[in-house]
Amino acid sequence: MATKITPFAISALLVVLSGSASAAPEGIASVYEDSFLVGTAIKSSDLTGNLPAKNSLPCSEFNALTAENAMKWQHIQPAPGQFNFAMADQLIALAQQCGARVIGHTLLWHQQTPAWVFEDEQGNPVSREVLLVRLREHIHTLVGRYKGKVYGWDVVNEALNEDGSLRDTPWRRILGDDFYVHAFRFAKEADPEAQLYYNDFNMYKPAKVAGAVKLVKQLGDAGIKVDAVGMQAHYSLFYPSLSDIEQSMKTLRNAGVRIAITELDISVLPLPDDAFSGADITQSFAAHPVYDPYVEGLPATQQHQLAELYQQLFALFLKYADSVDRVTFWGTTDADSWRNNWPIRGRTDHPLLFDRNGRPKAAYEAITRHID
């Protein structure tokens, strides 16, 4: 069967062969400004010194900024009552400099939360009452500090199993099945105007999407509106199918739930396990050269595959633009990406729109020049 050569395929190949993509006349956010916000995650090293310049990629290309780690509990409150806002303050300053909105990530998560949060001085689990006080103080202090400056918060992160049931975490074990209700209520108290989100990975799986819809409904019954469900989009050239992503978007839309595409990146590297998928940070595999084939750069064939998949994804996001509020990339350049170290440390992945030198790739061309 002959392969159809599309105009996009030709232009993308020319971009790859030339070594760089022709820059769009405007940043990505400007291209999609009539449809949804387009954001990026800012790594901690960019928030510890001088702010990135106003013409840097985060400012010139995006209109929504998320701290990759700087607002997580272990960084904000590493010890009881000891708050460290230095990096978070820098994020706010960067967003003001860039004219971008800030997305706060994240208030309640079972990962990257210090053990002291759940324990007393003897290392035993604290009571429900004590943990509720700690959660309220943390949320009120953090959200209250940035009231009116943070557009929306990932209030609860990754609370569901793959079958849509609630994860067994210290939050649930100590507070009970309504632990997430308290987090949303405290966030709403601290900043009534901020948008509130639930965020999770593998949100292309029907059972997990159904669990998220149930969670949102239960929050609604408690008088708390969830402004959007974040579909973490840690994808690969090998999974998931576009049809699965679209079906999940349909399910959320039909349930009256708005959508944020969060943490978007597309790994190009082979997987150590055919059944592997998702973004559970506890997963880890041994390194082997066969799983790291593009150390010297991404070949033209894979460049084209990545560009074509990004084009297809953004076409899908545009199709559901009436329900999609935001698309956020998890990192700005390939050098920034956590995919270089997960689920195998020390690999050379190429999952984003800009290469390790900050140059636009064929994928950038695909979503800025070919959006019809």
Query: Which residue of the set 158, 189, 246, 308 is catalytic?
Result: 158
Neighbours of 66 (CB within 10 A): 27
CB 268 within 8 A of CB 334: no
C-alpha dihedral (308, 310, 311, 313), degrees to nearest 10? 120
Instruction: Answer yes or no: 68 catalytic.
Output: no
Instruction: Answer yes or no: 365 catalytic.
Output: no
Closest CA relative to residue 356, chosen from 339, 337, 372, 338: 337
Peptide bond into 343 cis (omega under 30): yes
Query: Which residue of the set 263, 296, 308, 365 is catalytic?
Result: 263
CB 172 within 8 A of CB 128: no
Task: For the chain, count helices (H), then strands (E).
Answer: 12, 8
CB 11 within 8 A of CB 365: yes
* Residues 6 or more apart whose Cβ sits within 8 Å of residue 274: none
DSSP letters spanning 147-160? TTT-SEEEEEES-B
* Residues 6 or more apart whose Cβ sits within 8 Å of residue 291: 269, 270, 271, 272, 285, 344, 347
Length of the chain: 372
Q: Which residues are catalytic?
A: 158, 263
